[in-house]
Amino acid sequence: MKTVIFDLDGTLADTSGDLIAAANACFEALGHGAMLDMAADQATAFAGGRAMLRLGFERLGVSDLEARIDEQFQPFIGYYGASIDRHTKVYDGAVQAVQRLLDADYRVGICTNKPEGLAEELMQRLGMRDMFRALIGADTLPVRKPDPAPYVETVHRAGGNVARSVLIGDTVTDRETARAAGVPSVLVTFGPTGRDVADLQPEALLDHYDDLFGVVEGLLA
């Protein structure tokens, strides 16, 4: 069974606004004001909560950087969970592209470094959760991407075969995950880094979800 596994943040949906808002809420609660910019810091948002907290604290010039990040990570999760879909938008054509895969008897799943509970909640709110047979988050297994184990487990839970699967993502983490699993990767170009993801040398680039089916068919033929 041919299988397509998707990353979530920056791949299926632009979640950067809600992620940055949650990080800024941490800094505002500490009396520093908003330390991240909604537009300029999108790429950091897709690198995760710790990356955003690190950037903000670096801008503040704190000396105990890692300790401050650890201290604020759970508050960040709380702020994010409370307003998880205020700004988030599914990328244009994504729903239709996933449905076309399903109509062609593909298996589809999600492999993300977002905590599983948050990923489940977000996909439910976006109205897309029932489209995916499997969802593996950062804390589902003892390891996370770029370790290949979460990807392999997602394929298996989706009912697919790793040898006939492909990963759709947006960052170096997704590229390294695919390489470690021995499968092709497709990186989207509609994220904050645009076509610079070509430097990661994925097997294919995706400029719009309208093109997904043809790209995947070509890779898994």
Alpha carbon separation from 157 to 41, 56, 160 (Å, rounded): 34, 37, 7
**Spatial separation of the C-alpha atoms in residues 188 and 195, rounded to whole Å:** 8
CB 48 within 8 A of CB 85: no
Which residue bears the tokens 């307003």? 83
Average pLDDT per block of 10 residues along the chain, 221 residues long: 96 97 98 96 94 97 95 97 96 98 98 97 98 98 98 98 98 97 98 93 98 98 88
Q: Using one digit for the tens of pLDDT, what is the confidence trace for 21-46? A: 999 999 999 999 999 999 999 999 99
Termini Cα distance of the chain: 12
Token digits of residue 200: 């990661």
Q: Using one digit for the tens of pLDDT, what is the confidence trace for 76-111? A: 999 999 999 999 999 999 999 999 999 999 999 999
Query: Which pLDDT score, from 0 to 100, does residue 117 have?
Result: 97
Q: Which of 7, 9, 14, 18 is catalytic?
A: 7
Q: How many residues does the chain have?
A: 221
Check if 41 is active-site: no
- Burial bucket for residue 67 (CB in 10 Å: 0-12, 13-18, 19+): exposed
**Spatial separation of the C-alpha atoms in residues 146 and 55, rounded to whole Å:** 22
Query: Which pLDDT score, from 0 to 100, does residue 204 have?
Result: 98
Please choose, from the candidates 172, 157, 44, 159, the residue with its C-alpha nearest in 3D space to the C-alpha of residue 111: 157
Query: Which pLDDT score, from 0 to 100, does residue 144 have?
Result: 97
Query: Which pLDDT score, from 0 to 100, does residue 173 have?
Result: 96
Query: Which pLDDT score, from 0 to 100, does residue 186 have?
Result: 98
